[in-house]
Structure 1
């Protein structure tokens, strides 16, 4: 019909997100020798609680986070020209705004070290930053959170 517009129903709000398992203290993950995770930035005076792990290589993972995640990335989204302070400041601020609990940065295959500007941004925004060594798989970290 010409001139007829269909009005979609207003979206139904999602039910509150309930984590599938009890949360795990970040300190418990850091204590696991098999993971060899290392905290390199962010607050150390409190024990952050992790509800789940999520992997994302998106430059802006905000729309896909539920809150309470240990977000894992290998930094595929970081182009050499983008790896500056302003880029990482925006990236980290969006993770914090979404309620992300911590960020894990995997060494290899893309980066040999965690970019210093990312370390500075995590310190500035109070987001714990973990270095994930090449021998530790993201699925292994996720399994440790789940168990």
Structure 2
């Protein structure tokens, strides 16, 4: 019997999304598929796969994630002082705990760049972070 949390469609490798020039996505943090196993040897045992995309501007999307998502946000939920506290660590750790596969951060209309503290948190927790162009 199939797992009800897994959609009936085949997963899409994150590397396939990154390879599409028309999407303009750029990975700026987290493990790459070349190093998905974390061994640094360039031959990752498993690549990141996306089962579905989900948008959220919630500070804690955990209750609404099923796992395998490319979570998309424009950063509307980010408080102004977020870079100086634990906000991004808390945010990223909850996405990882929920099984999120990757985070896409949209440039514009709220942020011109991806917050440095978010990049650092994604690196620390091993969550691929994608910059999504306007």
- Under TM normalisation by the shorter chain, which class is it? 0.7 to 0.9
Q: Deviation digits for residues 81-122 of structure 1, max 9, x if unmatched? A: 224351000000000000000000000000000000000000
Report 1:99-118 matches (<5 A).
Answer: 99-118=99-118
Q: Whole-Å Cα distance in 1 between the matches of residues 87 and 80 of structure 2?
A: 11
Q: Whole-Å Cα distance in 1 between the matches of residues 24 and 104 of structure 2?
A: 12
Aligned partners of 2:55 and 2:71 also within 8 Å: yes
Residue 62 of structure 1 corresponds to which residue in structure 2?
A: 62
TM-score, structure 2 as length reference = 0.86
Structure 2 unmatched runs, 5+: 37-46
The answer to whether residue 29 in structure 2 is matched with residue 41 in structure 1 is: yes
Moved more, 26-35 or 80-89: 80-89
Residue 123 of structure 2 corresponds to which residue in structure 1?
A: 123
The answer to whether residue 12 in structure 2 is matched with residue 17 in structure 1 is: no
Aligned partners of 1:85 and 1:118 also within 8 Å: no
Residue 137 of structure 1 corresponds to which residue in structure 2?
A: none
SS class of match (2:81): helix
Residue 51 of structure 2 corresponds to which residue in structure 1?
A: 51
Q: How big is the shift at 1:18? A: 2.2
What number of residue pairs does the alignment pair up? 120
Residue 14 of structure 2 corresponds to which residue in structure 1?
A: 26
Larger Cα Rg: Structure 1 or Structure 2? 1
Instruction: Spell out structure 1 runs of 4+ moving beyond 2 A.
Output: 82-85
Q: Whole-Å Cα distance in 2 between the matches of residues 82 and 16 of structure 1?
A: 36
SS class of match (2:72): strand
Aligned partners of 1:56 and 1:73 also within 8 Å: yes
Q: What value does the CA root-mean-square deviation take over the aligned residues?
A: 1.1
Residue 42 of structure 2 corresponds to which residue in structure 1?
A: none
